[in-house]
Structure 1
Amino acid sequence: MKHKYIVASWAILLCIAAFSSCRKGDEYKKFFGDGELIYASRVDKVIVHPGNRRILLSTILSDDPLVSKIKVSWNEGKDSLVQTITRERGKDTLNLMINNLNEGVYNFVIHTYDDKNRTSVALNVSGTVYGESYSSSLGNRRLKALKYGADDNILNFSWASPNLDDIGVELLYRHKDGAMRTKMFVSNKVDTTLTDFDASTNFRYRTLFKPDSNAVDTFSVAYVELAVPGFERELDKAKFKEYVLPTDATTNHGWLMPFMWDGNYDPGNGFATINQMPQWFTFDMGVSATPSKFKIWQAADRIYAQENMRKFEIWGSDMPAGDGSWGNWTKLASCESRKPSGLPGTEKNDTDIAFAKAGEDFILPQGLPKVRYIRIKVLETWGQSIFTTIGELSVYTRDKNN
């Protein structure tokens, strides 16, 4: 009898298992039907274009003609965008612009649907949306120098190195024909030029930024007003050369006069003279011109100290006497180097050092004659030394190069 009960128990269990199996099969049919599971074709690729409180998703569609709709979800499915797909010959890209987004990083889930509303497998992409926080971190690129070229039709801009994400500087100016024009100076060029501008009006410029090369929006900062300087150009220092007259102080210590215009402002480089005071030295500018300004850099290893010039005179001549006398010379200016801090003697601070390293301008009066030869007469140095040093020197004129 016991054996019969065991057989009966196994029979009951087999019936239960068979019934359960039938129920599971029914459940499969309930969700998937009697045929195989079919998905719609998903997009082949998505290119993300960050923007200003928006983002552009460029979706590359598959070649499945049955795909008729696309859906993008974000914020864990709380927000979505649905768009019907209209196919055009030769065009496989569908752009989806999502607006009014807060700044931050988003994850987007993309599904496509066919004409029977069957969905594709999900495709996930992420992208960054920019806004006020990013904009507030931007600043205009610094303009280091603005000066004329060989004539008053060429203006040279010298820019600082570009900031992060800087794609260029946009300049707004008035053309000589009276029309307002815009010129873009790209970020990889720090030395740029402008021609055919109306010098009687000011310029405005602003820096443009893209946080990503694929960004759909360009960010900018406020315009900066820029006054057009009066025409002035730097004389070509390649034409400068030493011109020694009998009464001149001569070179000493291996600091040769050509080092005064070689463009090298490293410490330990420049021009130095022999021991005598007062003293003077002469050089040939190579052309006859009316000087308007001298820019002089102190020797970088002894700023506001030792042999750097404090008080001096600038003289000019177009035909100096061969004996070194002063008969054919015209005094162009009396100059005194200044220290922004006003500290006594050779004392100095960081502001003084930065000022000297930028080169100090000595403006000459108007109405001076044309001269070719320059003689600098040194009266006093900052350290009361008996010889003098100069790091670098440039000469400017308002003469046009006609």
Structure 2
Amino acid sequence: MEESYKQYVVPGGLTYAGKATSPKAYSGLNRVKIAWLRGSDPSVVKAKVYWNNFADSLSVDIPPSGDTISVTIENLLEKKYTFTIRTYDGKGNSSIPVEVVGGSYGEKYQAQLLTRPVNSNVLNANGTLTIGWGGADESNGAYASEVKYTDVSGKEQHKIFSVKSLVSEIPDMKPNTNYQFRTIFRPDTLSIDNFYTSYTDGSGLFSFNKKSWKIISYSTQHSDGDNAVINFIDGNEATRWHTCAGCSSYPHFATIDMGVERTITQFGVWRTTFETGGDDRGPDKFDFLTSADNVTWVNQGSFNFNRLINGEQRYSLPNKPKARYFKFVGTQGPQSYMVMGEISTYGL
């Protein structure tokens, strides 16, 4: 009766080493880390990890202590792998095979990563930079933004901000300097490596926060409230500064104290949208003047303004003046009075 299977019977039975327990594969940059729990078999002294259908393998010595065994397989092509783990005791008996699936990431993954954009840079009077972030490619593994800058002591700093944050603050950036930023990715939750986009320069055209700004002089205003000159710097193009109708004429001006000296590289002007569709009673031409002390003024130029369109109209200042004060002077327009919406300055 035993004749049909007798040749397959091993006297005393087969001895198996304790198998790898709860293995996991951790992805990385052209590498994968394999880790598993030691298990309860003290006779296990070695393990072997196979991949590519057993064409490639790596031996691992099992130390006499420790709860976790791990090995990192380097120089892998970018693809998914099935890894097979066998453990061995001192007599050469092997365990039953245990499989775990993991992947290696490389140039293909790196090439599709997108830097999270910066929507705004606002610098307040105390020198704190507030960065407003755009959307991050979280579906591809984006989890943080890194900002590199020089602090007030001259040291290079790196700060990491979660992609869940819509705004980030840098309170100690050195004045008149720029910053760089990049996005950090993890392709999956078990990745042992981060992936980075290339650094991108901050715009260098920081929008100056207007909360500390003051109107220190002006030509006229039609009345307080809806027509007040303070509306010219309230951050809302839907409000208006309306000079006195019937009792004023060009030039019309407003002088603004930013509270701190800045390097101004650009400024922007809006017509008001207080009226439905926009108000065309702005100037056709204006001057922009700057001063460090509100005594000596430099005219940075005469500029054309399109009073027939909504939205910000930006103007560059090639001289990049350092100034605490600036003056907007409407010089020519269709009426004797003038109506404006908003003004902003940008720079370092």
Q: TM-score, normalised by structure 2?
A: 0.70
1:289 and 1:114, CA in 2 relative to 1: closer, same or farther beyond 3 A?
closer
- Alpha-carbon distance in structure 1 between the residues aligned to 2:221 and 2:325: 18
Deviation at 1:273, TM superposition (A): 3.0
Aligned match of 1:185 in 145, 160, 165? 160
2:240 — aligned with what? Answer: 271
- Alpha-carbon distance in structure 1 between the residues aligned to 2:129 and 2:44: 57
1:13 — aligned with what? Answer: none
1:63 — aligned with what? Answer: 40
1:97 — aligned with what? Answer: 72
- Alpha-carbon distance in structure 2 between the residues aligned to 1:131 and 1:155: 38
- Alpha-carbon distance in structure 2 between the residues aligned to 1:173 and 1:290: 18
> After superposition, what is the alpha-carbon deviation per residue over 1:295-341, rounded to whole angstroms, capped at 9, x for unaligned?
33444799998456542345799xxxxxxxxxx997855542568xx
1:134 and 1:365, CA in 2 relative to 1: closer, same or farther beyond 3 A?
closer
CA contact (8 A) 1:68 1:114 kept: yes
CA contact (8 A) 2:272 2:278 kept: no
Deviation at 1:49, TM superposition (A): 1.8
1:379 — aligned with what? Answer: 332
Could you say what secondary structure the match of 2:333 adopts? strand
- Alpha-carbon distance in structure 2 between the residues aligned to 1:367 and 1:196: 20
1:393 — aligned with what? Answer: 343
The letter for the 2-side match of 1:214 is L
Aligned match of 1:295 in 252, 260, 268? 268
Could you say what secondary structure the match of 1:125 adopts? strand
Deviation at 1:174, TM superposition (A): 8.9
Aligned match of 1:336 in 291, 303, 313? 303
Which is strand-richer, 1 or 2? 2
- Alpha-carbon distance in structure 1 between the residues aligned to 2:73 and 2:260: 66
The letter for the 2-side match of 1:133 is K
1:116 and 2:75 matched:
no
1:211 — aligned with what? Answer: 187
1:288 and 1:98, CA in 2 relative to 1: closer, same or farther beyond 3 A?
closer
CA contact (8 A) 2:182 2:199 kept: yes
Deviation at 1:43, TM superposition (A): 2.2
Deviation at 1:79, TM superposition (A): 2.0
Deviation at 1:241, TM superposition (A): 6.3
Deviation at 1:81, TM superposition (A): 1.9
Aligned match of 1:312 in 282, 286, 291? 286
Which is helix-richer, 1 or 2? 1
Aligned match of 1:125 in 97, 100, 125? 100
1:281 and 1:224, CA in 2 relative to 1: closer, same or farther beyond 3 A?
closer
1:227 and 1:175, CA in 2 relative to 1: closer, same or farther beyond 3 A?
farther
Deviation at 1:76, TM superposition (A): 2.3
1:92 and 1:204, CA in 2 relative to 1: closer, same or farther beyond 3 A?
same
| Higher gyration radius (CA) | 1
CA contact (8 A) 1:175 1:198 kept: yes
- Alpha-carbon distance in structure 2 between the residues aligned to 1:272 and 1:264: 11
1:258 and 1:76, CA in 2 relative to 1: closer, same or farther beyond 3 A?
farther
The letter for the 2-side match of 1:116 is K
Deviation at 1:217, TM superposition (A): 2.3
1:212 and 1:285, CA in 2 relative to 1: closer, same or farther beyond 3 A?
same
1:87 — aligned with what? Answer: 64
1:262 and 1:121, CA in 2 relative to 1: closer, same or farther beyond 3 A?
farther
Alignment: residue pair count: 336
Structure 1 residue runs without a partner (length 5+):
1-20, 318-327, 340-344
CA contact (8 A) 1:235 1:396 kept: no
Cα RMSD of the aligned pairs, angstroms, is 4.9
Deviation at 1:363, TM superposition (A): 3.9
